Amino acid sequence: MGRREEVRRRTFDEILSAARRVAEDEGWPAVTIRRIAGEIGYSAPVIYQHFENKDAVLHTVLDQGNAALLQRMRDGVGSGPASDGVRRAAVAYLEFARSQPSLYQLMAGSVVDAAARHRAAAAVIEFTGQVIEKWAAAESVRLRSVEDACDLLWATTHGLTGIGLLADVGFDRALRLADQAVTALLAYWSAPLSPERRGK
């Protein structure tokens, strides 16, 4: 890597780090190009050499957040038994949110539009589906819809993360509830389909 490219990469990273610092201190709505420039001592035109606008900055941070979440989930699931993969994936999701609350709020909140958030989470969603499919194969369970199972697991972990972020509740309780919730989901998916459920 040449020196010019090295400087460019360093400035790029500084911009993203500054955006996250501002968000951690003041919330994501406070992140603007002018605010980022002031944080790192550059003029706004320097920022625009790297990012077209504030949304481009936020989308890049969003992509980085999902990449970090995916890695946390991969590490959490690891090479352990497939029968426990769903629970470990859910725990890893909550632990990520606990360790990166500001970043998680960008990934799950309304600062970035829902379609962009969904696109950024594509690899996380795909991995979640793979974990569920491996569990189903290990337990000889025939799922009616992996997509539905993913949505149920996501909604569960997302809701429990919201509980965990409440100061008077916290993540220790959210993790205990997650264990109960995942146990209930797995039991539901494992149960033979009733005539009513087959018709849905």
Amino acid 192: pLDDT: 82
* pLDDT band at residue 107 under the 50/70/90 scheme: very high
pLDDT in tens, 38-92: 999 999 999 999 999 999 999 999 999 999 999 999 999 998 999 999 999 999 9
Spatial CA neighbour of 32 closest among 7, 15, 8: 15
pTM score of the predicted model: 0.92
- Residues 119 and 107: their CA atoms lie apart, in Å, by 11
pLDDT higher than 60, residue 195: no
Task: Read off the pLDDT band of 2 (50, 70, 90).
Answer: confident
* pLDDT for 66: 98
As a whole number of angstroms, the distance between CA 9 and CA 96 comes to: 26
What structural domains does the chain harbor? 1-51 (1.10.10.60), 54-191 (1.10.357.10)
For residue 85, the model assigns a pLDDT of 97
Cβ atoms of residues 159 and 108 within 8 Å: no
C-alpha of 157 from chain center: 10
What are 119-171's pLDDT values in tens digits? 999 999 999 999 999 999 999 999 999 999 999 999 999 999 999 999 899 99
Sequence-ordered list of residues with C-beta below 8 angstroms from that of 90, at least 6 positions apart, any chain: 153, 156, 157, 178, 181, 182
For residue 4, the model assigns a pLDDT of: 85
